[in-house]
Amino acid sequence: MAQPYSDDFRQKVMQAIELDGLKKIEVSQVFNISRNTINLWCQRKAETGDVKPKARQASQQNGKISDWDKFRAFVKEHGDKTQTEMAQVWDGEISQRTISRALRKIGHTRKKKHTGIANGMKQNGLIS
């Protein structure tokens, strides 16, 4: 996610509008920011008295799979099923996409292992 503009930059922009008397369009060109951003900052200053960015809330990812040992045992038992079938068999409401992310997280793959069969090399059109 993009970082918010710094507090002192916001103060400089607002100072250019309020104290220096520049128009918003001029300030947007001087500081190379959009006029909509300046409008939002002016609106925030009118509402709160400050132009500081809103505090971000930490994402609260409520993981549907919390017991990873139980999930590993589940995969050993039901590993031959598709992800959609695994989602239907799992205890509780869970999607195929959640199963997919969890399988990737534990490093489970359905790819076959290479058996070590060597390919014949061609030398001057002959197979050796």
pLDDT band at 113 (very low <50, low <70, confident <90, very high): low
pLDDT digits (tens, 9 = 90+) for 43-85: 999 999 998 888 877 655 667 888 889 999 999 998 888 899 9
Question: What are the backbone dihedrals phi and psi of residue 126, each rounded to the nearest 5 degrees, phi first?
Answer: -105, 145
pLDDT band at 93 (very low <50, low <70, confident <90, very high): confident
For residues 84 and 96, the answer to whether their CB atoms sit within 8 Å is yes
d(CA 46, CA 44): 5
C-alpha distance from residue 53 to each of 3, 9, 70, 126 (Å): 10, 12, 42, 72
Query: pTM of this prediction?
Result: 0.47
Q: Where are the domains of the chain?
A: 7-48, 68-106
Mean pLDDT (whole number) for 78-100? 89
Task: Please give the pLDDT value at position 128.
Answer: 52
DSSP state of 5: P
pLDDT digits (tens, 9 = 90+) for 29-47: 999 999 999 999 999 999 9
DSSP state of 13: H
Does the pLDDT at position 126 exceed 70?
Answer: no
For residues 34 and 28, the answer to whether their CB atoms sit within 8 Å is yes
Return the closest-CA partner of residue 41 out of 33, 31, 32, 51.
Answer: 51
d(CA 63, CA 84): 18
